[in-house]
Amino acid sequence: EEELIHMFKGIPFTTRSSPELLKSLETFHAREDDLLLVSYPKSGTHWLAGVITKLYSTQVTLTSPIEFGDLSKLEELNKLSSKRIIPTHLDYNMLPPNFKKKKCKMIYIARNPKDTAVSMYHYYRDNPNLPTVDTWTAFFDLFLKGDVVCGSWFDHFLSWEEHENDKNILFLFYEEMKKDLPKTVKEIVLFLGLNISDSDIQDICKKSSFSQMKSDTEKENSDPSHTVCTLTSNRKLIFRKGTVGDWKNHFTPKQNQRFEEIFNEKMKLSKMAKNLTFEF
């Protein structure tokens, strides 16, 4: 079981991210027109990727995450001639410096960490690439300690939030997408400098609903391990519930209190913390 995880620069990665690849990212060659889709796992990465790929009328390629695979990954990405849409769960500090230097556009999607924790718990249970967790109680502790793949949710979010004013980075929130997807899609369209009619936006939103994406994925017969998330072994596992507030069905009052204490402490300087804790 221990072989499923290895540490790199203090962060737990699955063995599906080879240490050689992680090391070589330091010198990765970015292109000006690369678009990065950034997230902590279980924040709505597939949803965002589903929306984005529907926005382009020109040829684009949604790649697997930059940190996923071995050294052959670099050549694979190099060979692509079309615009690359590259997902990643890396925190800001570990992002290949070349993306920063070239001011590539990046979209960061965040989700209430309580729901992220619940989603990740179910994912750990269903996914053979991840260590076994026996109970929600045990997972809850691991999550708060940052002892899960991709490390601490707090460190991840804060490393990116530090760059909230960078013009090339757009921040999105899962809860806002649930509340008003067309509004978020319009923000994305503006950020990417695209030109898309309102009726096309409506159509894209319809095609990106949870139920539509779930049934599309069940019907498709392409390789289910081709994915935008390093943890995924089977894309069909992604579409579990897709709601806001499922944490209420898992957290005990005591766990909630502990979570809030830690959240308030870690996020005390965060301006965006309030965007994550919507109540509906």
From the candidates 89, 122, 156, 250, give the one annotated as an active-site residue: 89
103 dihedral zone (left: phi>0; alpha: psi -120 to 50; beta):
left
Query: CB of 251 within 8 A of CB of 152?
Result: no
Of 86, 106, 238, 276, the residue at the interface with ligand A3P (CB under 6 A) is 238
Long-range contacts of residues 123-128, Cβ cutoff 8 Å, at least 24 apart: 123/41, 123/42, 123/231, 123/237, 123/240, 124/148, 126/237, 127/231, 127/232, 127/233, 127/234, 127/237, 128/233
- Secondary element (H or E) of residue 13: strand 11-14
What is the phi/psi pair of residue 139, to 5°? -70, -40
- Secondary element (H or E) of residue 88: strand 83-88
* Shortest distance, position 47 Cβ to ligand A3P, whole Å: 4
276 binds ligand A3P (CB under 6 A): no
Of 56, 191, 210, 278, the residue at the interface with ligand A3P (CB under 6 A) is 210
**Cα torsion angle, 261, 172, 232, 252, sign:** positive
43 binds ligand A3P (CB under 6 A): yes
122 binds ligand A3P (CB under 6 A): yes
Of 14, 39, 127, 255, the residue at the interface with ligand A3P (CB under 6 A) is 39
Site map 81..120 versus ligand A3P, x via CB under 6 A = ----------------------------------x---x-
44 binds ligand A3P (CB under 6 A): yes
229 binds ligand A3P (CB under 6 A): yes
Binders of ligand A3P among residues 125 to 164 (CB under 6 A) are none
- Over the Cα atoms of the chain, what is R_g? 18
Nearer to ligand A3P, 111 or 266 (CB): 111
Query: CB of 45 within 8 A of CB of 228?
Result: yes
Interface segment toward ligand A3P; rule CB under 6 A; list 24-32, 62-70, 202-210, 217-225: 202-210
89 counts as catalytic: yes
Active site positions, annotated: 89
- Site for ligand A3P, rule CB under 6 A: 39, 41-47, 115, 119, 122, 208-210, 213, 229, 238-242, 246
